[in-house]
Every structure is written in structure tokens, then in C-alpha cells.
Structure 1
Amino acid sequence: MKDILREIGMIARSLDSISNIEFKEYDLTKGQYLYLVRICENPGIILEKLSELIKVDRTTAARAIQKLEANHLIEKKADPINKKIKCLFPTEKGQNIYPLIMKEHHYSTQIAVNGLSEKEQLLLATLLHRVRKNVEVSWEHVKKGKKREY
């Protein structure tokens, strides 16, 4: 079998590295742009849901959120019903950066699929979606403290 996950990992790390360099001037490093995008797309999201969307543990997400908040890109607001729950919202500064991040995302997507037909792009997207769904099962399993059988 081909080493599919190695290829996916190299693609992800390359694009993440590019983004970290290009977004540094906006105080976005170490993948923080991912968090900002999800918060802009889901204003009022809570930390737990955000960490599930990005597929990271809560501690990692909490550190990224602290940095985004310190850089005035997002803000926490108490939930109107349960004041203990903090909802995450982009600030005006964060909202202004969002279109730039999406522009980079669309550009990177075009570079990544260069030379692929529309049909191949659709097939790739479909297959990657299935792969992600398969991996999510293990991610949820391990996240709950369980071990996988090899």
C-alpha cells in the first residue's frame, strides 16, 4: 500500500508552514489562523466545539485562544444562559484578517489541485472526506482515553 498518510502529512505541514510565515505580520503563528477562521465562521462557538472542529485537544485549543485574545483577534463573552460558559467571537481586527486568510486558502487550494481535472478534484475531495471520517472514529476513541488495537 502506498504511504498515503505520509503524503497527506507532508501536504498539511507544508501549507501550515507557508501560512505561519505569511500570517506572522498579523500576529498569527503556529496554526492560530485555523482557530480564527473557525471562530469567524462560527461566532459564539465554545472551546470544546472549536477543539472538535480542528481536531485538537482542549489544552492546545485553550493556548491558541489565549494568544488570539492577547493579540485582540478574538474575545470571550459569557453565554447569555449559562454565565460559566465562555463563547468566542472575532474582534473587528480578527474579522478584518479573515478575508486575507480565506484568500490565501483559495490560492493554496488552486496550487494544490493544479493539473487536476474537475472530475479528479471532486474525486479527491470525496476520498479525502471518507478518509477523514475513518480517522475521526479513532480520534474520538483515543480522545476518550481508550487504546487502539494494532
Structure 2
Amino acid sequence: MKEILREIGMIARALDSISNIEFKEFDLTKGQYLYLVRICENPGIIQEKVAEMIKVDRTTAARAIKKLEIQGFIEKKNDDNNKKIKKLYPTDKGENVYPFLKKEGEYTDKVALSGFSLEETETIFHLLQKVRKNIEIDWEFVKKGNKRGY
């Protein structure tokens, strides 16, 4: 069997490394940009949903979100109906960085998919979605304290 997940892992680590270097000028490191992009694209989102979108545990998300808040990229606001719920919003600082992050993402997609036909791009997108959905099942299972049977 081909080592597909190793390839995906290498791609992810290379892109993360590039982003950490390029986003240093904004003082965004260690994947913080992922959170900021999701919050900018979904103003009013709650922390648990961000964690779910990025596929990290709640503690990891809480640390990254707290740092973004301290740095002034995002702010938490109480929900109008339930004061226990904190909604996340980008600040002006976050909104100002977002176009650069979006542009970088579009450029990276273009580079990663250069030489692919439109049909191949659609195929790889759908296949990777299928892989993600398969993995999500185990992710949810293990997150709840269960062990996978190898």
C-alpha cells in the first residue's frame, strides 16, 4: 500500500513551516493563522466549533485563541441569550491581516495544484474529503477516550 498519509503529513508540515516563517512579520506563529482565518470567515463562531473545524482538541484551541486575543487579533463577546457562551470576532487588527492570509492560501493552492487539470483538481478534492471523513470517525472515537483496534 502506498504511504499516502506520510505524503499528506509532509505536505502539511512543509506548508506549516512556510506559513510560520511568512506570518512572523504579523507575529502569528504555530498555526495561529488557521484560527484567525476561521474566525474572520465565521464571525461570532464559538471556540468549540473552531477546534472542530481545525481538528484539534479544545485545550489546544483555547491556548491559541487566548494568544490571539492577547495579541489583539480577536475578541470574545458574550452571547446575547446565554452569558456562558463566548463568541469570537476578529478585531480591526485581525481583519487587516486576513486579506494577506487569504491571498497566501490562494497562492499556495495554485502552487500545489499547478499542472493539474480542472478535472484532476476536483478529483483530488473529493478524494481528500473522503479521506478526512474516514479519519474523522476515528478522531471522534478516540477523542471520547476510546482506543482503536489495530
TM range (shorter): over 0.9
1:86 and 1:129 map into 2 onto residues whose CA distance is: 30
Q: Corresponding residue for 1:146?
A: 146
Segments ≥4 residues shifted beyond 4 Å: none
Gapped runs of 5+ residues in structure 2? none
Q: Corresponding residue for 1:58?
A: 58
How many residues matched? 150
Secondary structure of the 2:95 match is: helix
1:134 and 1:147 map into 2 onto residues whose CA distance is: 16
Q: CA deviation at 1:138?
A: 0.5
Q: Corresponding residue for 2:93?
A: 93
Listed one character per residue, the Cα deviations across residues 96-127 of structure 1 (whole Å, up to 9, x for unaligned) are 11110010001011110111111111111010
**What is the aligned-residue RMSD (CA, Å)?**
0.6
1:12 and 1:95 map into 2 onto residues whose CA distance is: 25
1:47 and 1:126 map into 2 onto residues whose CA distance is: 27
Q: Corresponding residue for 2:112?
A: 112
2:147 and 2:44 map into 1 onto residues whose CA distance is: 33
1:72 and 1:146 map into 2 onto residues whose CA distance is: 38
Query: Do structure 1's residue 81 and structure 2's residue 81 form an aligned pair?
Result: yes
TM-score normalised per structure 2: 0.98
% identical equivalent positions: 68
Query: Do structure 1's residue 14 and structure 2's residue 19 form an aligned pair?
Result: no
